[in-house]
Amino acid sequence: MITIVALAALLPVLVTEVDAFAAPVPYYRHRIISRAAVTQGNGNGTGTGTIIWGDCDPGLVKAADLPIKCAELVVPLDYTAPPSPNATATHTLELVRVQAATQPARGSVLFNFGGPGSEGLRSLATSAQFYRNLTGGAHDLIGFNPRGTSLKYLPFSCYGSDLDRALAILSGMSASGGPYLDSSDVQPGRTWATAKVFADACADKTAETTAGFVGTAFVARDIMRIVDALGQGELVNFYGISYGTVLGATLAAMFPDRIGRMVIDGVLNPHEYYHNLIDTEWMSGTDESFRRILAECVKAGPARCALAGRNNGAATASQIEKDIYGLFERLKHSPLPLPQSLVNYASAPAAVVDYSNLKGLVFSTLYVPAFFPKMAAGLDALLRWDGDSTNVDVASFGDWRDELTAAFAGVVSNEALQGIRCGDKDPATRAGIRTLEDAMPAIERVASLSRLMGNGSIHGSITMPCARWRLNGARERYNGDFRVRTKYPVLVVNPTWDPVTPLVSAKNVSAGFEGSVLLQRDGFGHSSVAERSACSEGAIGAYFSEGKLPTHGTVCKPDKPVF
């Protein structure tokens, strides 16, 4: 099953071309330390330190679609430690910059692409042209690797080596998700036991020395240090996607008087992120998103959506949905071996289609509307196939599987997702949870919200590892509310049918930020950038360039249908 981190990391390239998500590597040659950057403090300062930009690693330069520069910036390791002029405990931030199209720049926009755990350098560099256009072209763009995500500085790792990690994944003992909990009677217990093995690995390895320093509140303070070191004024401009909206909301709540232009796009409920063992709103729109896709399929017709041809073209969306769930149930007991021509050990599922891996493939596709036609063709082939390789041509399933797997493929380089998420959780979320039975009410609540994903890999990658977490949490955790008045109003953006950040979450967050406006991009995919829309992109650009907010209630249509 593809992890949420890998999915979130793909978002920046969806709008250009679907590229493989590669493990982060160090992309810079220069270690630049500004005097202002190394002074101790809590991130509230308005210093004018200078970052000196230098050449980036040739590999990142080659991958970038615009010229880039790189730098490093030293900040306090522990913002809760008393300030001291002789403090030596520091952390180094890795930065990449894309210059504004028009000079001089009006300032900078900082980005976070989600996860948590997505590194920021490659994510911005490979989609720089799109994001520069999206933000209006008047600002420099700044990407950075949040704490825990780098391989070079403060990596959050639960294994002694990359080989250990690879072997843990191959043996099914990592937090990579695993089969759906309802795939068999014994799977919940197995996932619960695996989560213990993983949590113990994190507590016993190098993660023990980094766990307290990778929390979201510290990253928010790092952002303010970057702003101070840029010397372009005291206000922060920020664009956050998915988990980046939690970071943005935290940043706005901690530093409301220093918020310039802020867009949060594909919105998670920050209160649930911090205070629930597992976010319940997260999956509340998944099934409806899938239903709406099937309705669009029927409307498009068999020529553009293969599933619309079922029952000689007379099938309704609800009938197609019923057929697909019937297929899932058959696969639970009778997985299908693929013909040898479609066996591909670099893809998932490699050789056998079963209940969990097909559901996971469908769910992953919901992030990326560009793959909807291939999903429809692949599902249609499986629905017509009885396992006889000569009966039905199932090559369309192989095409869907291989292209989606390649788009999301990447090497898991650390455990930042769990380190950040589990460490950010209020300890009360796991108080009293000692057994699987103790954890089941939270799991069953999510399962009741989504037939497609409620029993999915989220529990093996997040719910159960966080329930069994042994490490101390983040040294600073934001415990306030998200009802604040920022210096400039926040622009909240969300698709209508986002599969993991439903519109209700965006409405809830917008209601808390006084003066904010919710811009709704009609359609599908995770975050507004999953589908092109001249309307929403123009509104975002006007907000950054002119400070102009769209009218309340604005709903933007995508540029083209999904089929």
Q: Tens place of pLDDT for every residue, the chain, 563 residues?
A: 333 334 433 433 333 222 222 222 222 222 222 223 333 334 444 333 579 999 999 999 999 999 999 999 999 999 999 877 666 789 999 999 999 999 999 999 999 999 998 889 999 999 999 999 999 999 999 999 999 999 899 999 999 888 998 898 888 888 877 899 999 999 999 999 999 999 999 998 767 789 999 999 999 999 999 999 999 999 999 999 999 999 999 999 999 999 999 999 999 999 999 999 999 999 999 999 999 999 999 999 999 999 999 999 999 999 999 999 999 999 999 999 999 999 999 888 999 999 999 999 999 999 999 999 999 999 999 999 877 766 778 999 999 999 999 988 765 678 999 999 999 999 999 888 999 999 999 999 999 999 999 999 999 999 999 999 999 899 999 999 999 999 999 999 999 999 999 999 999 999 999 999 999 999 999 999 999 999 999 999 999 999 999 999 999 999 999 99
Please give the structure tokens belonging to residue 108.
């900078």
Helix (H, G, I), strand (E, B) or coil at 64: coil
Q: Which pLDDT belongs to residue 30?
A: 25
Q: Which pLDDT belongs to residue 177?
A: 76
**Short-list 267, 235, 253, CA closest to 114:** 267
Domain assignment of residue 389, yes or no: no
Q: Return the number of other C-beta atoms located less than 10 Å from residue 475's C-beta.
A: 18
Please give the structure tokens belonging to residue 143.
């990407």
Domain assignment of residue 202, yes or no: no
pTM: 0.91
**Separation CA 318–CA 322 (nearest Å):** 6
Give me the sign of the Cα torsion angle 228, 230, 233, 237: negative
349: cis peptide before it, omega within 30°? yes
Q: Which pLDDT belongs to residue 438?
A: 96
Please give the structure tokens belonging to residue 419.
């380190």
Question: At 90, which CATH number?
Answer: 3.40.50.1820
Give me the sign of the Cα torsion angle 170, 174, 180, 186: positive
**Separation CA 320–CA 308 (nearest Å):** 8
Helix (H, G, I), strand (E, B) or coil at 222: helix
By the 8 A CB rule, do 239 and 213 touch? no
Please give the structure tokens belonging to residue 155.
């990596």
> 505-519 burial by CB neighbour count: b if 16+ within 10 A, else e?
bbebbbebbeebbbb
Domain assignment of residue 418, yes or no: no
Domain assignment of residue 471, yes or no: no
**Separation CA 190–CA 23 (nearest Å):** 28
Between the CA of residue 512 and those of 415, 481, 485, 494, 516, what are the distances in Å? Answer: 32, 9, 9, 16, 8
- Residues 6 or more apart from 312 whose CB is under 8 A from it? none
By the 8 A CB rule, do 217 and 250 touch? yes
Q: Which domain holds residue 36?
A: 4-154+212-273+485-556
3-state helix, strand, coil in the chain (%, to 5): 45, 10, 45
How many domains does the structure of the chain reveal? Answer: 1
Domain assignment of residue 148, yes or no: yes
User: Rounded to 5 degrees, what are φ and ψ at 14?
Assistant: -65, -30
**Separation CA 490–CA 262 (nearest Å):** 5
> 160-185 burial by CB neighbour count: b if 16+ within 10 A, else e?
eeeeebeebeeeebbbbbbbbbbbee
Domain assignment of residue 40, yes or no: yes
**Separation CA 383–CA 378 (nearest Å):** 9
Q: Which pLDDT belongs to residue 412?
A: 63
Domain assignment of residue 561, yes or no: no
H helices of 366-435, where?
372-384, 395-408, 416-424
Domain assignment of residue 532, yes or no: yes
Amino acid letter for position 325: Y
Angle of CA points 556, 135, 490, to nearest 5°? 70
**Short-list 6, 30, 31, 34, CA closest to 20:** 6
Amino acid letter for position 14: L
